[in-house]
Structures are given as structure tokens and as C-alpha cells.
Structure 1
Amino acid sequence: MSTVDVNPTVEPKRWLADIARPWRRLNGLAAGLVIADILPATGFALGLAMAIGALQQSPTAALPGLALAGVSLALRGLVAQAAVLTAGQGAAMVKRRVRGDLLTQLFAGRRPSGDSMTAVVDGVEALDGYYARFAPARLAAAVSPVLIIALCAVASPVAAGILTLTLIPFAFGMILTGTAAAAESRRQFLALERLSGLFLDRVRALPTLLSFQAEARTSREIARAADELETRTGRVLKIAFLSSGVLEFFSALSVALLAVYCGFNLLHLLPFPVPESLTLPRAFFVLAMAPEVYAPMRRLAAAYHERQAAEAAAASLVEAMPPAPAPARARRVPVTATAPAPALRFRGVTITYDDGVSPVHDFDLDVPAGAIVALVGPSGSGKSSLLHLLLGLAPLAGGEVEADGVALSQAGSFTDRVGWASQAPVVVPGTLGDNIALAARGASRESLQAVATLAGLDGDLDRVLDERGGGLSGGERRRLGLARALLKPAPILLLDEPTANLDAASKIALLPVIRAAARGRTTLIATHSAAVEAMADVVVRL
């Protein structure tokens, strides 16, 4: 399946045109069939006019005109059916392509699932009316009235002039109602997206919500989002009904005005002179064709909300289908640190959280440059807090930490100098290579492959991962964190329980990876593992 190249900055109108370009001939044929409807419509009006004129002679003389009207009516039904089928086929092909690309993005995990499913279901379906009804009606509304008025001018130039003048308020009414509907349609689709995303996120987090007894609050949030969607939908429908009423009023008024002119002309009762004297067949032909002038405009008005819905959905679909980024010149990122490993000094360090919990009191430690330090002790003794302190994730309530003379209290954190592997590395939707590259943007594929292999991953950088880390075992998640730490050229390495909850074989397999990651760096490891403790240069018991 080919993907659609779309620039996220493209306006929805242009995107809707670009996305259907492969089927422009099919869509053009559908529009042509809608315009061709005027031929059998003209034949029907002409046949009735001939029959009315021939009735003055005999009923039998009216048969040819009635036959023409009957054939034209049947032909009109066939043309209308062909137009519907052709436009529907074009719309289906566009939707199939867009939905396929969206599903590719979804299964690649490159987009939040709530937004993706809303786009796949509701966003794509919003395109159906645009290509099946609005697009053919738009071209017909521009061409058909002109052609019909030209045909009417043959029978009555004055009637053609009246039809032309009455189109002005008709078109003006369409512009006003269409402008009002555009903003409301966009707001309605955004409200639908918010409700879908909110509902999916809350279902995913249901165990957490139950644990924290947040059911009532969540219900209120979903109810507010549903009420907002109801309000937005009501406003869109209100504008749609208002626009239909306005256009029907002008259409009926125009036909009535033309009927008055034709009637007074036939009776020779016009209060002003006109350069024509109508006959009954000519007057009947003009009156029969008058509704056809407004029929394309009315079809366009009826489908106008389809355009607004499609453009509202397109604004989200453009974001859901980002183009493949232009290949940038990759820079090689070394696996080991480029800066010399620093010496770390902890002097009277105290960590106290906002809730008053203080896991570390007056902690002192000197870490030689390039040394591996194992922080061991029971859970809650402050091992992870000391690592978080260097990342700026734990508050320094007292004392000081220095890295080659640079004070933590002044720097705020040493994040830019730290390679970090937590107990549960964050996994983002994307490929394995994308997740490793979070540690060093712009890393070359060769560097990514090198650290993946060194960390003991399978080396398939294109393996797709979802936001839950689907496709990774517990050991592979640990290896992912180590691969990121290997990739980042940081002189300090922090590892938080790198072998926790792993079987014996997996722990033994990770030890060489930890040694490789620690080479040339000052390393602090929070651990309960005797094997990790044995490989350390310094063991600190908390």
C-alpha cells in the first residue's frame, strides 16, 4: 500500500484536493454525469411543452411530446444512478487509501491511540459525503445554472434575465450560512475527538482510577465532554436547518416571480413593455426549467455541511498522517563518553520530600573518577533518591554534591552529563530504534545498531513497539534502558536496579552489558543483587 505524502502545514482544502488526485478522472466523471443531468431535464421540459402546445390540435398530437418526456424521465433516472455510483466509488477509494495509511500509523504506534481511532472511524467517514456528494455538486452548481439559463434565453430572454438576477440573493444566502457552519463544524469535530480520547484514556487507566476511588470525578469529566459534544452538534444542525430554510425561501420566491411574469405576459397584462410576447409552450418550457436552475444550488446547499465536516476532519487527519521526514545527514554518536569521568563528592546530603519523608540524612561519600559504586540496602533506604538527586528529581534539603567542583545546588541537576537507566524505562510509540535514539537525537543508524547489539537486544531496529512496551520482555526493557545509557556520551552513569525481577540467567547475561556501559564513566548503581555488588569498586550500605 502506498502512503500519502502530506505536509502538516497544508490547509484542509488543499489536502482534500491532493488526497484525491489519483482518482481525479473518476471524480471528474461523476461531476460530469451530474452536469449531464440537464440534458434529460431539458428533454422532459421540452416534451411537456410540446405536448401542451399540441393539445390545442388533438390529444393524439400530444403523444410525441409525452413520449419525449417519458424517455427523458427514464434517462434522467439512469444518469442520476450512474452519477451516484461513480461518485460513491471514488469516495470509497479515497477513504480506503486514507484509512489504510492511518491504520499503518496506528499499528506503528506513532500516534496516541484515542486520536488515531477517532480519525480512522469518524474522520475518514466524514470524507464520504465530501467526495460522493459535495465535490460533484460543487462543479455542477457552477456550470449547470449557466447552461440552463442559456437554454431558457432561447425561449424567453426576459425570463433568463429574471433567473440570473434571482441567483444573487440565493448565492449570498449560501455564503452566509456556509461561513457560519464552518467554525461550528470544526468545533463539533474537536469535541468528538476530545470525548473519544478521554473515554479511551480513562478505560485504559481504569485500575488506577478504581485504586484512587476517582470514579465519580471521571464520570463527571466524561459527562461534561459528552454535553459539550451534544451542544456543538445541536449548533451545527441548527445552522444546517436554517440554511436549508433560507435557500428554499429564495428558490420558491424566484420561481413564483417568474410564474407571475409568464402569466401576465400570456394575458398581456404587464404594466411595462417587454421585447417579447410569450406563447403557452414557451412559457411552460421556461416555468418547467426554472426549478432546474436552482436544483444544482440546492443540492450543493444540502451537501454543504458535508464539506464543513470533511474540512474539520481533515485538520486532524493531516496531523494523523505526517510525511516521512526528510533524510537528515546522520552524525555518528560514540558509544562511550567523550568527556572525562568526574569525581563525585557528597557532603552532608539530606533529601526531604514535600510530604516530610526524608530517606537520606547527612550522607557523605567520595566517588573516585571512573569508579563503579554499588548502593545497597533495604527498600526505602534512599538508594533511588540519591540517583534522582543528581537528575534533579529529588530535593536537596541540606548539604552539597559536587562533580569536579561543580555544585549541584548551583547547577540544579547534572542531567546533561548523566546516562540514566531506570527500573522501568519509558517506551514511546515507534520503533525500537526510535526508542533507543531518545538518548541522543541525530544518532546514526550504525551507532543505534552498535548499542542495541552491545546491550543484547535482537538488533532489529525496525521492530514496532506500542506505548505500553508491547513486544518487549522485562529483560529487554532493562536492556533498552542500558542501550540508551550506552548511546548517550555522558561521563556519569546511573543505574537503578538494573537486574531486579529478572531470572538468574537474565541477570548473568546483563552483567557484561553493565560493565560495558560503565567503562570510562563514574557509575552509581542502586541494587539488591550480590552479583552487581561484586563487580563494584566501592560498596555503600545504606
Structure 2
Amino acid sequence: MPVSFTADLDAVARPWLKTLSKSGGGRAARTAPLWLLADVPAAIAFAAGLALGVDALPRGLPAAAPWLVLIALAAAARGLLARRAAQAGARAAAGAKAQARRDAAASALGGRITGGEALAAVVEGVEALDGHVARFEPAKLAAAVAPLLIIAAIAVATPLAAAILLLTLIPFGLVMALAGGAAAEESRRQFLALARLSGLFLDRVRALPVVLAFQAEGTVTRDLGVAADDLARRTIRVLRVAFLSSGALEFFAALSVALVAVYCGFNLLRLLPFPVPEQLDLKRAFFALALAPEVYAPLRRLAAAYHDRQAAEAAALTLAALPAPAPPPPAATFAAPPAIRFQAVTVAYAPDEAPVFDGFDLDVAPGEVVALLGPSGSGKTTLLNLLLGLAPLSAGEVVVGGERLSHLGSIAPSVAWAGQSPVVLPGTLADNLALARPGATRDEIERAARAVGLDAVLAARGGLDARLDERGGGLSGGERRRLGLARALLKPAPILLLDEPTADLDAASEQALLSILVEAAKGRTTLIATHSEAVAALADRVVRL
């Protein structure tokens, strides 16, 4: 392997993975290897019961019955322990992946990584950690301790058979080290090829109108084909190394068990061509033979998960290099409706573009309802987004409740919001309404839904348990607006921001919502961005932009 790659693994990837396993895996990451180690006494008991049972069978079934019971109990215990180890590993992997995904998504959503790099990190990179945390980390401790414990148990019955197994561990370990070194570099190259293909595909999809305009479909298809073929070749190389290493490991494992079997068999028959300091009986020979394959079971488990480790380390090099997510801004809350003041506010989305606002001033008294009226593009939504931190403040200051917004941080906990495109998540109608207030009771959710006129939706789709997909299938544009209004009603916030609350509604539906808007604005400092003169007439003051 290149020296720089090995140094990156030691300095970056492995410490990062270790920290992630401890912090994200939690208690499950610590208990998973212990369940695997607990299998050692069960395996010894199973082999002992098998050896003693076979020895007792010539004396009749009653003599062998206790050992048969021991075999059954040990087998059941081994199955239970294997299940608990798998469950603990799965929980540890889920926790570690959740933490890694949160950090990677925060970097992506914060604009710190973009394009295919973000996609590969959040999706493929995080998923590549699963096998490392769930299987390799628990197997690593078990592979280091369990073979020695089993060999020690075999040494009680036959020290020479234990010595044979101990000596054959050396080539087994060397093969694992060599295979791991070869697989690490191939896994890194495969992950980089996957990231390149993801980035290329995403960038070409984004530029699809340009590609079609310049009739570059053939070039783009060829580039994607080359990247896909490169990924396929690198994947085959990884699999080739994995299969070769697996074959070599199985060879040495079978060879060592065969040597023990030959020794025990010739010792029992007294046909060894050289003198040995022990004479085996059936019980001791059968115990050694039954337990010999168990010496390599933890190592086989580790070898099977070794590729998971290489894939995780290759992904960790990318994930560890992501910028740390910015700490969330402090959240401000208000006990009463606050005053809002825009002082010489300038908003420009880009330095070379004309500002949306330049020196804008507006004072909103506590509990006042102000309608922002104006044509499309006049900046109504921008003012609301400015309060939510979704639009840049280029100059001036926004003061909320006597405190500068730049000092307060986020005021989202104190804001009830109904936008032009309410977000709809897969789930029930009740789940979507409760996004504004997760602790709301079912009765409160239903009252809010009926208050905004969603009665028809409730009646036609089975009530609050009606299923919605991520596109809000079955909801019209007006019903989506009502969904957003219901969320605003449900959240008891001292600030209410409404962005075109009656758009997509006919005159009759708009008229029916006016009284709801009046009710929603009571006891709140309210800003309503609207084109509608009827909605503006509800306000205490109208500001024309």
C-alpha cells in the first residue's frame, strides 16, 4: 500500500472509527463482543457433552442421558448468545450510523459540501460503516481471546493437540494480515470510484437542460459508461482479493483440524511413528476433535467481516475530512407578543445583483397585525424569510422584542409559520399536522384541522389517520395551504408569519378562511404577505411594497 494511504488510515480513519463506535454505538457496542466471548464456555460444554455422551453410549442410553441434556442446553445457549450478539451489533451500528449521518447531513445542508461528494458521504459512506461496527468490532475482541481460551481447554485433555492448533494460528494470522493490506487499497479505490460516479451522475442530471440544448447526450452517456465500468472493475478487484483470502484462510483452518484429527486417530490406534508423552482415550480424543473447529470459528468470523473493515476505513477517510457541522444557533423565546422593528434593512442575495430592499424601515407593535401588500417580486416573502434566518441581512438591523436578531439567533421556537409550499412528509395527516407541535393531543389536532376547513379531507380519506405520501398525494393546492394554516393554529407561538395564506383558493373558500385568519392572529404579533385586498383588510395596518 502507498505510505500516504497507510498513514491516513492510522492518523485519520481508524481513530475516527474508534471514536464513532464508542460515542455512537453506546452500550450495545460494548456488550456485543461480550456476547461472542460468552459463546466460548457454551462451546466447551457442547464438546464435553458430545465426548462424554459418545463414551457413555456403549453402557446404554440412561448413562448417556445427562450428557445428551448438556448437549441440548449448550446448543440452545449458543443459539441464544449468537442472536444477542447480532442484535447488540445491529443496535451499535444503527447508533453509529445515525450519528455519522447527522454530522454528514449537517455539513451538506450547511453548504460545506456539495454535489456528488455530499451524496456519496451521506448515503454510501455512512452505510459502509454498518459491517464494521456491527460485525468487525465485536469479532475483533472475540478473535483475539476466544481461540486461546479454547486451546487452553483442549490442552487439559491433550497438550500436544493444543500445541498443533497454537502453531497453525501463526500462518493463519499472516494470511489475514496480507489479505487485509491488499484489500484496504482496493476498497479505497472502489469507494473513490463510487464517489466519482455519484458526483458525475448528479452533476449531469442538474445540467440536463444544457446537455439537451447542446445535443451532448452521447458524450454524457459515454462519460457515465466509462465511470460505471471503472467502478465495476474496482469492485471485481475487491471481490477477487476477498475470495482469494477466504480460500487461503479456509485451507489453513482445514489443515490444522486435519492434523489434530490425524494425531488423535493414530494416538488412539497406538500407530504414531514417534513416541509421545501421552496416551489418549476416546473421551479426550473426541473432546479435542469436537473443539478443534471452534478455535477457528472466531477467526473465520473476523475474516468474513474483514472486508467490512476495509470498506469502512475507505469511507471514513472521506467522512472524517468533512467540515464539522456548525453548532445550532441559540433559540430565543418570548413570553408575550414582541415588537418587531426593521431598521435600514438591506437584503441582497448576491453582490452583483440589485438588492431586494435597500434601507427599508418598519415598526410593528406588540400584538399588531400588519399586511404586506404588493406584486410578485416586491419582497414580501423575503421579509418573512429574514425573520426566520432564511434570507441574508446585508445591512441594517432587525430588532425583535428589544433585542437584535443577530444576537438572538433563531426565533423559530417562537414563530408559527404558514408558507406557500407546506412540507408534506410520508405518514398520516395527524403526523403532518403535529409537526408544528409534537406534544399536541389528537383532539387539538382535529380541532385545528376542522378550523381551517379540512373537514372534506377528513371525511373523504378516513380522518386523521389518512395516509399521505411525500408529494401530498390527494391534496389540492388549496388543501395544502389549509394544512399549513392548521399547523400555525396548532402552535401557540407569540409571532405569526403567513405567506399568501389564501393563494390557490377560490373566492368562496377565501372568504371562509378570513375569520380563521382573524382568530389565528389574536394575541400574536402577525405579518401577512398577500396579494389579496380582502386579506389585507383584516390587518391593523397595510404596508404596500
Once the two structures are superposed, residues 366-393 of structure 1 have per-residue CA deviations (whole angstroms, 9 ceiling, x without a partner) of: xxxxxxxxxxxxxxxxxxxxxxxxxxxx
Q: Distance in 2 between matches of 1:219 and 1:451?
A: 43
Query: Could you say which residue in structure 1 is the equivalent of 2:250?
Result: 248
Query: Could you say which residue in structure 1 is the equivalent of 2:196?
Result: 194
Q: Is the 8 A contact 2:150 2:291 kept in 1?
A: yes
Q: Sort the Cα spacing of 1:10 and 1:451 in 2 relative to 1 into closer, same or farther, 3 A.
A: farther
Once the two structures are superposed, residues 419-467 of structure 1 have per-residue CA deviations (whole angstroms, 9 ceiling, x without a partner) of: x943599xxxxxxxxxxxxxxxxxxxxxxx9952289xx976979xxxx
Please state if 1:21 is matched with 2:22. Answer: yes
Q: Distance in 1 between matches of 2:152 and 2:284?
A: 14
Q: Distance in 1 between matches of 2:99 and 2:325?
A: 15
Deviation for aligned residue 1:56: 2.7
Q: Sort the Cα spacing of 1:208 and 1:14 in 2 relative to 1 into closer, same or farther, 3 A.
A: same
Please state if 1:422 is matched with 2:352. Answer: yes
SS in 2 for 1:55: helix
SS in 2 for 1:34: helix
AA aligned to 1:453 is G
Please state if 1:101 is matched with 2:115. Answer: no
Q: Is the 8 A contact 1:145 1:294 kept in 2?
A: yes
Q: Is the 8 A contact 1:55 1:62 kept in 2?
A: yes
Q: Is the 8 A contact 1:8 1:319 kept in 2?
A: no
Query: Could you say which residue in structure 2 is the equivalent of 1:128?
Result: 130
Query: Could you say which residue in structure 2 is the equivalent of 1:155?
Result: 157
Query: Could you say which residue in structure 1 is the equivalent of 2:304?
Result: 302
Query: Could you say which residue in structure 1 is the equivalent of 2:482?
Result: none
Q: 2:293 aligns with which of 278, 291, 294?
A: 291
Q: Is the 8 A contact 1:452 1:459 kept in 2?
A: no
Q: Distance in 1 between matches of 2:241 and 2:22?
A: 31
Query: Could you say which residue in structure 2 is the equivalent of 1:140?
Result: 142
SS in 1 for 2:305: helix
Q: Is the 8 A contact 2:183 2:242 kept in 1?
A: yes
AA aligned to 1:110 is R
Query: Which stretch has the larger CA shift, 74-83 or 104-113?
Result: 104-113
Q: Distance in 2 between matches of 1:132 and 1:204?
A: 36
5 Å-filtered alignment, 1:54-73, equals 54-73=56-75
Deviation for aligned residue 1:253: 0.7
Q: Distance in 2 between matches of 1:8 and 1:73?
A: 40
SS in 1 for 2:129: helix
Once the two structures are superposed, residues 326-345 of structure 1 have per-residue CA deviations (whole angstroms, 9 ceiling, x without a partner) of: xxxxxxxxxxxxxxxxxxxx
Q: Which runs of 5+ in 1 are unaligned?
A: 1-6, 326-419, 426-448, 464-470, 472-542
Q: Sort the Cα spacing of 1:8 and 1:143 in 2 relative to 1 into closer, same or farther, 3 A.
A: closer
Q: Distance in 1 between matches of 2:218 and 2:50?
A: 68
AA aligned to 1:36 is A
Q: 2:236 aligns with which of 219, 226, 234?
A: 234
Query: Could you say which residue in structure 1 is the equivalent of 2:210?
Result: 208
SS in 2 for 1:79: helix
Q: 1:261 aligns with which of 256, 260, 263?
A: 263
Q: Distance in 1 between matches of 2:352 and 2:247?
A: 64
Deviation for aligned residue 1:188: 0.2
Q: Distance in 2 between matches of 1:142 and 1:117?
A: 37
AA aligned to 1:274 is V
Normalised by the size of structure 2, how large is the TM-score?
Answer: 0.59
Normalised by the size of structure 1, how large is the TM-score?
Answer: 0.59
Query: Which stretch has the larger CA shift, 136-145 or 95-104?
Result: 95-104
Q: Distance in 2 between matches of 1:147 and 1:283?
A: 18
AA aligned to 1:41 is A
Query: Could you say which residue in structure 2 is the equivalent of 1:313?
Result: 315
Query: Could you say which residue in structure 2 is the equivalent of 1:40?
Result: 42
SS in 1 for 2:58: coil
Q: Sort the Cα spacing of 1:9 and 1:66 in 2 relative to 1 into closer, same or farther, 3 A.
A: closer
Query: Could you say which residue in structure 2 is the equivalent of 1:51?
Result: 53
Q: Which runs of 5+ in 2 are unaligned?
A: 1-7, 328-349, 356-391, 399-403, 411-418, 420-545
Q: Is the 8 A contact 1:8 1:322 kept in 2?
A: no
Q: Is the 8 A contact 1:91 1:127 kept in 2?
A: yes
AA aligned to 1:17 is K
Query: Could you say which residue in structure 2 is the equivalent of 1:180?
Result: 182
AA aligned to 1:117 is L
Once the two structures are superposed, residues 86-131 of structure 1 have per-residue CA deviations (whole angstroms, 9 ceiling, x without a partner) of: 1110110111111112222222222113211211111111111001
Query: Which stretch has the larger CA shift, 263-272 or 97-106?
Result: 97-106
Q: Distance in 1 between matches of 2:128 and 2:317?
A: 12
Q: Sort the Cα spacing of 1:421 and 1:71 in 2 relative to 1 into closer, same or farther, 3 A.
A: closer
5 Å-filtered alignment, 1:422-501, equals 422-423=352-353, 452-453=395-396
Q: Is the 8 A contact 1:173 1:243 kept in 2?
A: yes
When the two structures are aligned, how many residues end up with a matched partner? 340
